[in-house]
Amino acid sequence: MTPGSGHKKSKIDVLARKLGRRSRQEPRGGQRTVLITGSGRGIGRATAEYFAAHGWKVGVFDIDADAVSWASGPEYVAGVIDVTSPGSWEQALAQFAEATGDRLDVLVNNAGILYGMPFMEASFARDSALADVNIKGVYFGARAAFGLLRKTPGAALVNVASASAIYGTPEMATYSSTKFAVRGITEALDQEWAADDIVVRSVWPLYVKTAMLDGVSTSGTSRQGVNLTAEDVARKVLTAATATNPFAPVHYPVGLKTTLLYHGSHFAPSRVSRALNSLLVGD
C-alpha cells in the first residue's frame, strides 16, 4: 500500500480494486476546489469557466501572468506557474491551499504545447520543450499535489491527453509520444493511488479549435478538420473528475471519431488500428 493509506483492505476489496472497481468517498461539505494549469486561454480557460459556472473555487494558473488577469472574481484564485519547475509547483499549490483551507478536490494537468510537421523538420530543442511541458509537467504536478489530494476526500487528478495517444500520429510524432506518456502515468497512478482515495483520469480530444493549433497544418487537420471546441473538452473534464460509478473508465475520449477509434483499438488487431489511424490522420 502507498504511504499514508488507510486501514488494511480485505482480499476481496483488493481483488475488486485490481479489476477496476473504484468506490469514492463523498466530497466534504462546502465549495469544491480545482486547480487547472495552462488555464489562461484555450481549453484551460474554458475548463476554468465551466467549473466556476458549476460552483467550484477555481485555481487559474498559467506561465503568462497577463493571461490570467481575466480571472478576477471571488470564484477564482489566479497565479503563475511554470509546470517544468518543481519549485514553481510548490509555490502555486501553497498559494491555492492558503485560499482554500488546504483543500484540493481536483488537479487538472492541462498545460501543453505542440508542433505539427514531419519529425525531421523539427529539432532537438523543440522535442525537448515538448517533453518538458507535456511529460515532466504532468509528473511534477502529480508528485507535488499528492499530499493535498490525499487530504481531500474523493479527490481526482485529471490529465489532458489526446487522441494521438491511441496510435502514433504522423507529423505529430513527438507530441503523440508525450501523450502516450500521459496515458501511462494516468493508468499507473490510478492503481497506485486507489488506496489513498484518489482517482486518476485522462481526457482525449482530437483536434480542438484553440490558438494552439493556429498555423498548424498536417494531413490529419486537413483531412478531419478542427471541429471540437474547448467547451467540449471542458465538459468531459468535469465528467471525468466527478464520476462516481464504481466502474467509471480511466480514459474519456472526446468526440465521436475519437470515441470510435479509442474503443475500436481495444478489439482490433494492431494493423487494423494502424490502418484506421492512417485513414483519419495519415497521408
State the average pLDDT over residues 108-116.
95
CA torsion sign for 42, 131, 94, 196 is positive
From the list 76, 115, 167, 175, the catalytic residue is 175
Instruction: Give the span between the Cα atoms of 113 and 128, in whole angstroms.
Output: 11
Which own/partner pairs from 191-194 qualify as long-range (CB within 8 Å, at least 24 positions apart)? 191/18, 192/2, 193/2, 193/146, 193/149, 193/150, 193/157, 194/17, 194/22
Instruction: Give the span between the Cα atoms of 39 and 60, in whole angstroms.
Output: 5
Per-residue pLDDT band at 167 (split at 50, 70, 90): confident
Q: How far is CA 55 from CA 18, 30, 63, 77, in A?
A: 34, 10, 25, 14
Higher pLDDT, 2 or 205: 205
Query: Do 140 and 83 form a contact (C-beta atoms < 8 A)?
Result: yes
The residue behind cell 488487431 is 269
Q: Which residues of 79-95 are buried (b: 16+ CB within 10 A; e: fewer)?
A: bbbbbbbeebbebbbeb
DSSP 8-state class, residue 27: P
Q: Is 50 labeled as catalytic in the residue annotation?
A: no
Residue ranges in 6-119 assigned as alpha helix (H): 11-18, 42-53, 86-100
- According to the model, what pLDDT value does residue 42 have? 95
- According to the model, what pLDDT value does residue 23 have? 76
Q: What is the pTM of this model?
A: 0.86
Instruction: Place domain 29-281 in its CATH homologous superfamily.
Output: NAD(P)-binding Rossmann-like Domain (3.40.50.720)
Whether 219 shows a pLDDT value over 70: the answer reads no
* Least trusted range by pLDDT, from 6-10, 122-126, 198-202: 6-10
Instruction: Give the span between the Cα atoms of 136 and 130, in whole angstroms.
Output: 9
If you average pLDDT over every residue of the chain, what do you get?
88
Beta bridge partners of 158: 108, 201
Domain ranges of the chain: 29-281
State the average pLDDT over residues 100-123.
96
Q: Is 139 labeled as catalytic in the residue annotation?
A: no
The residue behind cell 511534477 is 140
Higher pLDDT, 224 or 99: 99
From the list 167, 179, 236, 252, the catalytic residue is 179
Beta bridge partners of 106: 34, 156
Dump pLDDT digits (tens) for 238-270: 999 999 999 999 999 998 877 877 887 766 666
- According to the model, what pLDDT value does residue 47 have? 98
Residue type, 265: S
Whether 86 shows a pLDDT value over 90: the answer reads yes
Whether 221 shows a pLDDT value over 60: the answer reads no
The percent of residues in the chain predicted with pLDDT above 90, rounded, is 67
